[in-house]
């Protein structure tokens, strides 16, 4: 019987196939391994924590609650839920209460919703990273008033990215600035997403306002609109920045640093690590991206590579966030109520 001839492949061919195979594996299983934070659906592991993913709801409250319920069904051993937008933590608490899971799943929050603060008092929420929306409103109007030239009072507009109790607090600050600074302030709260926000900004330009402060819904896809506004009036951003636009200033907190503060609360709640799910409205906003990245980096012990605010002092009015826990929640809530005229 004849033995078939075999030909020896050159070493270079073996190396090439190995190299191509490695690239193929990277393509199939993803670059960056388990610690890449770019994909919201990716499971990220490190430092004893398993971040199961980031669930978005596009500001749909029913979807936000359904995300929590789905997480409880898929991951009955979940250790901690983190809500990055103001309405997320109250809906997390509502779903946990209905599932009889209050206390068995740790909750870490953002912002100063009454339900969240009550949860801290009751021991159902570990803590929250509180922004200062009142000062977002006040400082935005103060800055724009300072840019105004002319004998007549400035006509200013404060544009939010939606409708929420968070923005009701900001509205109080903007209207207090109106009283203190002798300016006219129009608070505009778009309820229909990015298209509605665009329409309202264009209407303000038609009305020839002297300044607009806006929290962009999707900064990357609104640069043209924002630059158009900046050509016709004084434009600043608040709450969430639009770094590629020609806005004069950003008023708000450093969201990456706030994410790191949030990570400290999670680590305090789970000193040995555990399984964590993140909930947020949408990832298109700069504040959501940086807040989430700071949280992830803080949990897995990753060095900062980007995100956050990198602006000169004259372009950044820093309104610092603070950590609210059981020890300081009563004082914080009392001050908030006085600002809102509830006391």
Q: Environment class of residue 149 by beta-carbon count within 10 Å: exposed (0-12), middle (13-18) or buried (19+)?
A: exposed
132 sits in the region (left: phi over 0; alpha: psi -120 to 50; else beta) called beta
| Residue 66 near residue 74, CB atoms below 8 Å | no
| Residue 211 near residue 171, CB atoms below 8 Å | no
Note the pLDDT of residue 326.
Answer: 97
Buried/exposed 302-311: b ≥16 CB within 10 Å, e otherwise? eeeeebbbee
Low-confidence stretches of the chain (pLDDT < 70) are 1-37, 305-308
* DSSP code per residue over 51-65: EEEEEE-TT-HHHHH
Q: Which residue has the tokens 């959501």?
A: 288
CA–CA gap between residue 160 and residue 137 (Å, rounded): 10
pTM, whole model, 2 decimals? 0.84
CA–CA gap between residue 128 and residue 92 (Å, rounded): 13
Note the pLDDT of residue 41.
Answer: 84
CA–CA gap between residue 275 and residue 298 (Å, rounded): 15
Note the pLDDT of residue 38.
Answer: 72
* DSSP code per residue over 202-247: HHHHHTT-SEEEE--SSGGGSHHHHHHHHHHSEEEEESS--TTS--
């Amino acid at each position: 019987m004849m033995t078939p001839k075999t030909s020896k492949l050159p070493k270079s061919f073996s190396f090439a196939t190995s190299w191509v195979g490695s690239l193929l594996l990277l393509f199939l299983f993803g670059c960056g391994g388990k610690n890449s934070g770019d994909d919201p659906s990716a499971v990220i592991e490190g430092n004893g924590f398993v971040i199961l993913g980031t669930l978005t709801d596009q500001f749909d409250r029913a979807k936000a609650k359904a995300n929590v319920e789905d997480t409880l069904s898929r991951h009955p051993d979940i250790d901690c839920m983190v809500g990055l937008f103001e309405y997320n933590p109250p809906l997390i608490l509502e779903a946990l209460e209905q599932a009889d899971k209050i206390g068995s799943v740790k909750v870490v929050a953002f912002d100063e919703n009454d339900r969240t603060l009550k949860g801290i008092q009751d021991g159902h929420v570990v803590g929250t990273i509180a922004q200062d929306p009142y000062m977002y409103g006040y400082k935005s109007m103060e800055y724009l008033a300072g840019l105004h030239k002319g004998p007549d009072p400035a006509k200013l507009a404060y544009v939010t990215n939606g409708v929420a109790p968070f923005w009701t607090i900001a509205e109080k600050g903007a209207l207090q600035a109106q009283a203190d600074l002798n300016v006219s302030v129009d608070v505009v709260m778009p309820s229909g997403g990015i298209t509605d926000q665009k329409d309202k900004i264009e209407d303000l330009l038609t009305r020839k306002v002297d300044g607009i402060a806006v929290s962009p819904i999707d900064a990357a896809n609104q640069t043209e609109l924002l630059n158009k506004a900046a050509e016709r009036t004084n434009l600043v951003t608040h709450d969430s920045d639009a770094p590629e636009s020609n806005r004069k200033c950003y008023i708000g907190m450093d969201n990456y640093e706030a994410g790191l503060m949030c990570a400290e609360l999670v680590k305090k709640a789970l000193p040995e690590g555990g399984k964590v799910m993140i909930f947020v409205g949408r990832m298109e906003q700069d504040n959501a991206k940086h807040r989430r990245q700071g949280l992830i980096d803080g949990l897995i012990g990753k060095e900062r590579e980007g995100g956050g605010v990198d602006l000169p002092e004259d372009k950044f009015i820093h309104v610092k966030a603070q950590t609210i826990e059981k020890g300081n929640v009563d004082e914080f809530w009392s001050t908030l109520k006085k600002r809102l005229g509830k006391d």
